[in-house]
A = this chain, B = another copy of it.
Amino acid sequence: MRMKKLIGIDLGGTTTKFAFLKENGEVEEKWSIPTDSQQEGKNIVPNIIESINQNLSKKGLSSSDFLGIGMGSPGSVDIEKGTVIGAYNLNWKTLQPVKEQIEKGTNIPFYIDNDANVAALGEQWKGAGEGSSNVVFITLGTGVGGGVVAEGNLVHGVGTAGEIGHINVNPNGYQCTCGNIGCLETVASATGVVRLAQDFAKEFDRNSVLKGLINEGQEVTAKTVFDQAKQGDPLAEQVVNKFYFYLGLACSNIANVLSPDAIVIGGGVSAAGEMLVHGVKEYFEKYAFPQVRTSTKIKLAQLGNDAGVIGAGSLVKMNM
């Protein structure tokens, strides 16, 4: 009997990534198409169906060669009904019956979840959390998102588990877009790091390249801040140290509750690399319960841009 395959889809605002995977998660084939979010994103799903069918026939494969299609999507996902709403970077403002359309168009069973959950599954299956049944994934991008795998199951709770960006790390902190004060996202996202830099620069009275850039009105990104910290710039060091404190505190609180094998950090800001892991660990170890301190590891994500398509494949396996 021929081994069946999986299809993983990572639906993003500019690109839709696809992969054919073996049942063990090995990527056999990757490709991508632009995401056409014009006209309220009405072409997105038809384009996905067309692209899958094209690649099937190109490889001489048929729907019966596949166990299923998994997809990670932005927006608010109803995993039971297979619908998406409020995915503003796709211009999907109204309810999209994604599962119904894709199953009809491909004749392959379809499963969907939100993109952060799917990336968490990817890292847990084949990335930094491989071999662990308890993994928490944190993605530090424009915002801060996450996903929780506990005892081998993706945790949804009553619908919104994994809102790690909204863990409160400072009740007297900055206003968050969610309406609350002091969420992790306000200080640990790419924009959060820049916010800390601008705020700390005001009070900083020593020599600093970073302060100079800010005062000159030059574009300062999270990468600028981490790069300057690597160079030993004292303001940048102060900023990243505060970032480590907040993220380390949040990680310790997650680990005290869930005792995961690993907390995996991904997303654009994690490009700062081992320096970031080292800094976060320092505060994690300060605030984590003694037994948790040694049993939960802080790790960098390993799959990069492939986390989405691989996790989407895992979604199929989880639902079988």
Query: By the criterion CB–CB under 8 Å, are B160 and A289 in contact?
Result: yes
Q: Provided the pairs A148-B258, A254-B257 are in contact, do residues A289 and B158 lie with their beta carbons within 8 angstroms?
A: no
Write the A12-31 contact mask toward B (1 if CB under 8 angstroms, else 0): 00000000000000000000
A85 CB, min distance to chain B CBs, angstroms: 13
Query: By the criterion CB–CB under 8 Å, are A257 and B257 in contact?
Result: yes
Please name all residues of chain B whose beta carbon is closer than 8 Å to the beta carbon of A154 when the two chains form the complex: 151
Interface assignment of A291: CB less than 8 Å from any CB of chain B: yes
Q: How many copies does the complex hold?
A: 2
Interface assignment of A259: CB less than 8 Å from any CB of chain B: yes
A233 CB, min distance to chain B CBs, angstroms: 25
Query: By the criterion CB–CB under 8 Å, are B258 and A180 in contact?
Result: no
Please name all residues of chain B whose beta carbon is closer than 8 Å to the beta carbon of A158 when the two chains form the complex: 134, 259-261, 295-296
Query: By the criterion CB–CB under 8 Å, are A148 and B257 in contact?
Result: yes
Query: By the criterion CB–CB under 8 Å, are A259 and B180 in contact?
Result: no
Q: Provided the pairs A157-B134, A249-B171 are in contact, do residues A257 and B151 lie with their beta carbons within 8 angstroms?
A: no
A156 CB, min distance to chain B CBs, angstroms: 7
Please name all residues of chain B whose beta carbon is closer than 8 Å to the beta carbon of A171 when the two chains form the complex: 245, 249, 287
Please name all residues of chain B whose beta carbon is closer than 8 Å to the beta carbon of A238 when the two chains form the complex: none
Candidate in A252, A253, A292, A296 with the most chain B CB atoms within 10 angstroms: A253
Chain A: number of interface residues, binned into ranges: 35 or more
User: Quick one: which of A212-237 are within 8 Å of B by CB?
Assistant: none
Q: Provided the pairs A150-B153, A151-B150, A153-B153 are in contact, do residues A159 and B257 lie with their beta carbons within 8 angstroms?
A: no
Partner of A157, one of B146, B150, B153, B167: B150
Q: How far is the CA of A258 from the CA of B253 in the complex (A)?
A: 12
Interface assignment of A271: CB less than 8 Å from any CB of chain B: no
Write the A240-264 contact mask toward B (1 if CB under 8 angstroms, else 0): 0000010001001110111111000
Q: Provided the pairs A150-B155, A151-B153 are in contact, do residues A167 and B257 lie with their beta carbons within 8 angstroms?
A: yes
Query: By the criterion CB–CB under 8 Å, are A164 and B258 in contact?
Result: no
Please name all residues of chain B whose beta carbon is closer than 8 Å to the beta carbon of A155 when the two chains form the complex: 134, 150-151, 258-259
Query: By the criterion CB–CB under 8 Å, are B160 and A295 in contact?
Result: yes
Interface assignment of A161: CB less than 8 Å from any CB of chain B: yes
Interface assignment of A3: CB less than 8 Å from any CB of chain B: no
Interface assignment of A78: CB less than 8 Å from any CB of chain B: no
Interface assignment of A302: CB less than 8 Å from any CB of chain B: no
Least CB separation from A132: chain B residue: B158
Query: By the criterion CB–CB under 8 Å, are A259 and B159 in contact?
Result: yes
Closest 7 CB pairs of A and B: A157-B259, A161-B259, A166-B289, A151-B153, A163-B256, A134-B157, A163-B289
